[in-house]
Amino acid sequence: MKNIMYHSTRNNEVRLSASKAVLKGLADDGGLFVPDELPKLDISFEKLSDMDYKGVAYEVMKLFLTDYTEDELKYCIEHAYDAKFDTEEIAPLTYADGVYYLELFHGATIAFKDMALSILPYLMTTAAKKNDLKEEIVILTATSGDTGKAALAGFADVPGTRIAVFYPKNGVSPVQEKQMVTQKGKNVKVIGIKGNFDDAQTGVKKMFNDSALKDELKEKGFVFSSANSINIGRLVPQVVYYVYSYTRLLKNGKLSEKDKINFTVPTGNFGNILAAYYAKQLGVPVGRLICASNSNRVLTDFFMTGRYDRTKEMDLASGNFESERKFMLTESPSMDILISSNLERLVYLALGSDDKKDAALMKDLNEKGFYELDDNAKSFLKDFEYGFADEEKTSAKIKALYEDTGYVIDTHTAVASAVYDDYKKRSGDETVTVIASTASPYKFAKSVMSAIDAANKDREDFALIDDLKEISGTELPQAIKDIKEADVLHDTVCEISEMPSEVKAFLGV
Ligand SMILES: *Cc1c(COP(=O)(O)O)cnc(C)c1O
């Protein structure tokens, strides 16, 4: 098997093994680690169709994480995809109204972040052992709501690690917040910031690039790493379920090997859909990748024009960037993001792996608030379809799907589903389509139940959870039972500028 090394999107020269890239999270130059080349599957789809989730996970992950031994990787996979998931299928498909919903929310914290964050702690502690790491690993995490809890659940009381999570104090759902602030564990810290997700992510990235801070902490025996999808150890496990879902449809005769498959993904930081793109490069016959945004439609504007602009919004009629782009708080908070970090990995490929150009564009984004691709790079984006759904469209979709089929989806999934409806209408494309269903409706019970019946807007979250159980006929997830009674253990709130001092206080330095 080919040995795959990783390098920064902003410097092709610095090359690291997979396990070192997992440990480091983000490159010192602020770039993201990417594989020197994207691997190809070396096993038939027929064989993969006969494997369970863990089997497929091994066949996919071994291609990317080549310096992990077979035993190491299988150990990580065994411990990740176990009874923490409430179904042996791990990621089941549900058919409703002409599309397949790939349910990625059957893990411990009922959002798709569990798919990768249940394995990342194993990948990281294995990497620490392999590389003789002396320091304790400090996971710094910015969250728009779901990564935080999934990372906390994964890393709580894992020896040799500590984890600090920063979330936008007024930018997450009540269930998301309660899940985080009730987290137990001797090595965990949860901090609300007076800012939005982009502020949290930028603050964390700054700490990663602060060499004085890093030196100081190294002396005290600590190194930073990341549990965000900027870490290649998050991205690689996410490729698995795209391969898995395709092989399930083959196995059940819903597709033949001649057919293509489309994926529609509700997108924020561009991690999940990038994993689908990697699955395509592995050899899955993907037709269209449909990138769905909510009202924070910076990605829609980007795919339409090749201009990524976090400060100005495209005028839908003229295509010009004229009005100020405002950060909007929506009912799909995990997608309330204007700086989609993982897009840099796609842009890097669009630039023909030109690290200098990539670094220059990211500098533009930082300093001017936008960058623009040239025509050559723009043409690289043609694999992608795109669109956005505003609040009204999103809740109308939840209601219509429930009334037509009885199936209840969460707000993020509904954004994707509404965008897919638009795509299908304008293209007439009949290709079998899978929508990534990224969260359990229980996690956003208030928004979901209010979409179905506006009278629910004034009712209590937990009363609505009981009603949701009633109307959907699904079981109450353990994650919801757990927070009903749990005590609040974290109440720190800080200014953006205080993030480093909060980390130091947490570490006792
Ligand atoms: C994180 C998240 C998303 C966005 O995924 P990205 O990988 O950041 O694009 C969508 N939906 C839910 C429920 C999420 O938690």
Instruction: Inform me whether the pLDDT recorded for 396 exceeds 90.
Output: yes
Cα gap 268→289, rounded to integer Å: 15
Question: For residue 142, with 0-12 CB atoms within 10 Å meaning exposed, 13-18 middle and 19 or more buried, which class applies?
Answer: buried
Q: Which residue has the higher pLDDT, 316 or 403?
A: 403
Question: For residue 199, with 0-12 CB atoms within 10 Å meaning exposed, 13-18 middle and 19 or more buried, which class applies?
Answer: buried
Count the neighbouring beta carbons within 10 Å of the beta carbon of residue 246: 27
pLDDT band of 461, cuts 50, 70, 90: confident
Count the neighbouring beta carbons within 10 Å of the beta carbon of residue 86: 16
Residues facing 95 on adjacent strands: 100
C-beta of 266 in contact with ligand 1 (< 6 A): yes
Cα gap 86→481, rounded to integer Å: 14
C-beta of 229 in contact with ligand 1 (< 6 A): yes
Q: Which range, of 112-116, 173-177, 241-245, 498-502, averages the lowest pLDDT? A: 173-177
CB 309 within 8 A of CB 321: yes
CA 267 to ligand 1 center in whole angstroms: 6
- Digit-coded pLDDT (tens) for 122-133: 999 999 999 999
Question: 138: which residues sit within 8 A by CB, 6+ positions away?
Answer: 161, 162, 163, 164, 217, 222, 223, 224, 225, 503, 507
Q: What is the pLDDT of residue 14?
A: 87
Question: Minimal CA–CA distance to 443: which of 201, 213, 198, 105?
Answer: 105
Question: For residue 20, with 0-12 CB atoms within 10 Å meaning exposed, 13-18 middle and 19 or more buried, which class applies?
Answer: middle
Mean pLDDT value across the chain: 96
Cα gap 222→506, rounded to integer Å: 12
C-beta of 334 in contact with ligand 1 (< 6 A): yes
Instruction: Provide mean pLDDT across the span 220-244.
Output: 95
C-beta of 435 in contact with ligand 1 (< 6 A): no
Cα gap 1→58, rounded to integer Å: 14
| Ligand 1 mutation pick, 175, 238, 334, 388, max ligand atoms within 8 A of CB | 334
pTM for this model (two decimals) = 0.96
b/e map of 359-390 (b: 16 or more CB within 10 Å)?
bebbeebeeeebbebeeebeebbeebbbbbbe
Sign of the CA dihedral running 351, 354, 355, 359: negative
| Ligand 1 mutation pick, 117, 146, 415, max ligand atoms within 8 A of CB | 146
pLDDT > 70 in the chain, percent: 100
Cα gap 83→213, rounded to integer Å: 39
**Catalytic positions, please?**
113
First-to-last alpha carbon distance for the chain, in angstroms, is 44
Instruction: Provide mean pLDDT across the span 437-460.
Output: 95
Sign of the CA dihedral running 333, 334, 335, 337: positive
